[in-house]
Structure 1
Amino acid sequence: MKKLLILCLLAGFSASSHAARCADFATQQEAQEYMERTGDTRLDGDKDGEACKCLPGGSRYGSSVCRR
């Protein structure tokens, strides 16, 4: 029983430790909704409140500053 409890706890920690990246989303809106829902501001590199601005729908989509 102890082993099962430990295994469940470890599985929970590893699942919640996934850091979201802009590549995990298809559009800027999806990333924005995720950031607002979770409070995960790592998607907003310049801290202006807009997540993943290089994704489709973002303010810099298609700009030369976005990696292709």
Structure 2
Amino acid sequence: MIYEIFTHFRFRVHFRSSLCKKCADFSTQQQAQKWYEQRKKSGQTGWKSLDRDGDGQACDCLPGGHGKKCPKKKK
């Protein structure tokens, strides 16, 4: 019984983590953009959080992006 609950919980956490992404989950803007466009085109969810300013560019502040209002990096 406990094993079944644990297995079910692990599956749900893994399943959810593959649906919802943050910019920190990607190394470059191009990687984020590719994932963003695939999700959006297929009608799946989880892509809106990558484009906070609504300009169609995911994770503008990652390397390779052209974000203008990026948070300053901590030293």
Q: Secondary structure at the match of 1:47?
A: coil
Counterpart residue identity of residue 42, structure 1: S
- 1:24-63 equivalences under 5 Å are 24-39=25-40, 40-60=47-67, 63=68
- 1:2-13 equivalences under 5 Å are 3-13=2-12
Do structure 1's residue 17 and structure 2's residue 16 form an aligned pair? Answer: yes
Identity of aligned residues (%): 38
Q: Secondary structure at the match of 1:17?
A: helix
Q: How far does the alpha carbon of each residue in 1:3-59 deviate from its partner, in whole angstroms, 9 at most, with x for none? A: 544433221111122332111211100111111223322100012211000111112
Q: Secondary structure at the match of 1:50?
A: coil
Instruction: Please report the RMSD computed on the Cα atoms of aligned residues, expressed in angstroms.
Output: 1.9
Runs of 4+ in 1 over 3 A off after TM superposition: 2-7
TM-score by length of 2: 0.66
Structure 1: runs of 5 or more not aligned: none
Structure 2: runs of 5 or more not aligned: 41-46
Higher relative contact order (CA 8 A, sep 6+): 2
